[in-house]
Chains A and B, each alone.
Chain A
Amino acid sequence: MKKMNRFIITLFVAFMCLPILVTLVYSFATEWGKSILPSGYTLKWYAQLYQDPQFLAAISRSLILTVVTLAAVLVILVPSIALVAIYLPKFDHLFKPIVLLPYAIPGVVLATGLMRTYTNGLVPLFAVLSGGLFIYSLPFMYQSVRSSLQEIDGTRLMEAAEMLGASKVYAFIRILLPNIKIGIMVGSLLTFSAFFGEFQLTNMILGGDFETIRIYMLRVMKVNGHLSSAVVMTYLILLVIISALIIKLTNMNRKRSSMMREEAAFKPIVKGSPAHELLNH
C-alpha cells in the first residue's frame, strides 16, 4: 500500500515536471527536432536573450504593472479587509462571495466589460488594466489577510490597545499591522507572481501596445522556440525565488503562532489557496 502511494505521487511529480524539463533542455539545445536527443548544447540563447532590449523592456513593463497595482492593493484593499473584519462584520458577507469571483466572472468577461466601457479613451488603458488586475487580486488578499487576522485574534488586540488608551489609527499601525505583516507579505507575493505572469487581461486590453513578459514570450515562441524556452526558464527561476520566499514566510508565521497558542490548529496560508491556480491560464 505504502509503495503504491509513493509510486502514484512519483508519477504525478514526473507528470508535472516533464514539460518543465523539456523546456529546460530545449533552452540549452542548439537544435532539437530531427533526432530524439538534441544535436548539441549551447548557452547562446540565454546570451542572446539577455542582450535583447525588448526582453528587458518586457520585464520592466511587467514589473511596473505589477508594482503599481500591488501598491494600490496594499493601500486600498488591505486596510479595507481589516476594517471590515474587525469593525463592520455586517459587510463581511459581501466579501465572502469574492473568493468565487474568478469562476463566476472569468477574466475574458471582465476584460470585455472593461474594453466596452473604457476604449473611448476616458481613462488611460494602463489604469484600466491595473484596475482589472486589482479585482482579480481580491481572492488571494482576502484569504491571506483574513486568516492572518483570525490567527492573532485581531479584534481582541484592537480592543486591548484601545482600553489602554490608544487611538484606533495608532492601534492599527503599531499593533495590528506588525502582527499581520506576514499574512500581508504572503498575499502580496502570491499576487505578485499572478500579476507578473498575467496574460489574458493584458493581451485583450492593451495587446501589442504593452508587451509584458508573457506576451513577449508568446511572440518569441512563434519566431524562435529556443529563445522562448530561455525566457520561460528565466521567468520560472524568478518565480521559484518568490515561492521560496513565500514558504519561508509561511514557516516563520507558523513558528510564531504555534508558540502563541499551542492548541490552536495551524492553517497554513499557502496551502489550500487554490485561487492562486486560477489567474494563469
Chain B
Amino acid sequence: MSYLTIENLNLELGGKMILKDLNLSIEKGQLISLLGPSGCGKSTLLRGISGLNSIKSGKVMIDGRDITKLAPKKREVGMVFQSYALFPNLTVADNVAFGLAMKRIDKDTVSKKVAQILELVGLEDKAKSYPGELSGGQQQRVALARSIVVEPKVLLLDEPLSALDAQIRKQLRLELCRLQKKLGITMIFVTHDQEEAMAISDRIFVMHNGQIAQEGTPSQVYFHPSNEFVAGFIGNYNKLNKEQIERLFGPLIEEGSTYALRPEAIEFTPQDDAVSVVGQIIERHILGNVVRCTVQTQYGTLWVDRMNQGQAVLNDLKDVTLFIRQEDVVTLHQ
C-alpha cells in the first residue's frame, strides 16, 4: 500500500475538465516532481490534493486515510505557494508559529520548535523581521519553514522556486533536497523546469492534458521516454520515423511509428555496433558546457550534442561521419 494514492481523479474548473481519470501513487519519504508545461493541470492536481479545489470524482488517500471529502485544514497536508503567501502583518517567527498555534500547542513548545526550524533554514537572526524586509530567497525559506514546522504528512510545493533568480534557485533546490532527506518528508514538487525536476526528484511524473504521461526515476524518464510528448518535453530528442530507422538499421522487431534518439548518444568517432552516417554540420550553438551541432544527413537533420571543451576541431569541422548505435534508439508510443 502506497503512502499517498490517487484513484480515478476527475477535477473540473469553470466547466472545463482539468484532470481526467488521473491515477497516482507515491511512497513515503520521497521527493516527487510533477513536471509539465503550463496548463497541463499540475498545479490543479496539487490544489486537488490540498482540498483548495474540490474534486468532482475519485479518491485521495494519505497514509490509509481517505481525505477526499475533508476540509483543507483537516488533511494534514502542507503547501508552499509560488508567491510564498507569507502574512505581511506578522513577523517571521509569528508566521512560522501560525500553524502550531492553530494546533493549540503550548507556547513554550511553539517557541522552541520555531527556533529549531528557523535555525534549520538558516534564518535564526531574522525571527523578528517582517516578510517585507526579507529577500526573495529568504521569504522562500520562511514559507518552507512555516509549512514544515507543523509536520504535515505530505508537503506540496507549487513552483516554489520560479520567482527567484537562477543562481539562488539552484542553491535553494539543493538545500530543499537536503532538508527533505534529513527530515524524511514526503514532498510533491510542481515545476515546469525539466532540469530542476531531474536534479532533485526521486521520481518524476510527467503530466500532459490532465493525465500522467509517464512516471519513473529521473534516469528512466530521461533515457526511456515512453511517448512522443515526454520525448518532446524532456531534452531535445531527435525524432525519427519508422522509415528513417529502417533505412539506418534494417527491419525492426519492435512495433512503433516514432523513435527518439538522444543528441548526446550520437558520436563523431567510430563505436562498436554502430552504423555510420555521412553529413555536414550546418549550425552550431554553444549551450554552456555543451555544443549542439545541427547535422544535415541523407536521413534528415539530426542534433548532435558534444561536451564543450573548446575543441578547435568542433569549430572547424564541416563534413562529419556520425556513429549511431541501435540500442540508443527509443521507441515512442502515441
A181 and chain B: residue at smallest CB distance: B89
Per-residue CB proximity of A155-183 to B under 8 Å, as 1/0?
A: 01101111111110010000100110000
User: From residue B144, how far is it (CB to closest CB) to chain A in Å?
Assistant: 13
Contact A161 B147 (CB under 8 A): no
With beta carbons under 8 angstroms apart, the residue of B50, B83, B98, B133 that contacts A161 is B98
Size category of the B interface is 20 to 34
With beta carbons under 8 angstroms apart, the residue of A159, A165, A259 that contacts B103 is A165
Contact B102 A164 (CB under 8 A): yes
Which residues of chain A have C-beta atoms less than 8 A from B81's C-beta? 156, 159-160
With beta carbons under 8 angstroms apart, the residue of A156, A170, A259 that contacts B83 is A156
Which residues of chain B have C-beta atoms less than 8 A from A256's C-beta? 88, 132
Q: How far is the CA of A259 from the CA of B131 in the complex (A)?
A: 9
- A163-B72, A164-B102, A256-B132 known; A175 vs B78 contact (CB < 8 Å): no
Contact B132 A260 (CB under 8 A): yes
B190 at the interface (CB under 8 A from A): no
B77 at the interface (CB under 8 A from A): yes
A165 and chain B: residue at smallest CB distance: B102
Q: How far is the CA of A170 from the CA of B99 in the complex (A)?
A: 12
Which residues of chain B have C-beta atoms less than 8 A from A260's C-beta? 88, 131-132
Contact A160 B87 (CB under 8 A): yes
A153 at the interface (CB under 8 A from B): yes
- A159-B52, A161-B98, A256-B132 known; A167 vs B73 contact (CB < 8 Å): yes
Contact B88 A152 (CB under 8 A): yes
Which residues of chain B have C-beta atoms less than 8 A from A160's C-beta? 79, 81, 85-87
Q: How far is the CA of A159 from the CA of B73 in the complex (A)?
A: 10
With beta carbons under 8 angstroms apart, the residue of B71, B85, B103 that contacts A157 is B85
Near B by CB (< 8 A), chain A positions 227-255 give none
Contact B98 A166 (CB under 8 A): yes
- A156-B81, A159-B81, A256-B132 known; A166 vs B88 contact (CB < 8 Å): no
- A159-B52, A259-B133 known; A165 vs B87 contact (CB < 8 Å): no
Which residues of chain A have C-beta atoms less than 8 A from B71's C-beta? 162
With beta carbons under 8 angstroms apart, the residue of A157, A165, A259 that contacts B99 is A165
Contact A161 B132 (CB under 8 A): no
User: From residue B72, how far is it (CB to closest CB) to chain A in Å?
Assistant: 5
Contact A159 B98 (CB under 8 A): no
Chosen A-B contacts, 16 in total, with CB atoms closer than 8 Å, are A156-B81, A157-B85, A159-B85, A160-B81, A160-B85, A161-B87, A162-B52, A163-B77, A164-B146, A164-B150, A170-B102, A175-B87, A178-B89, A256-B132, A259-B133, A260-B132
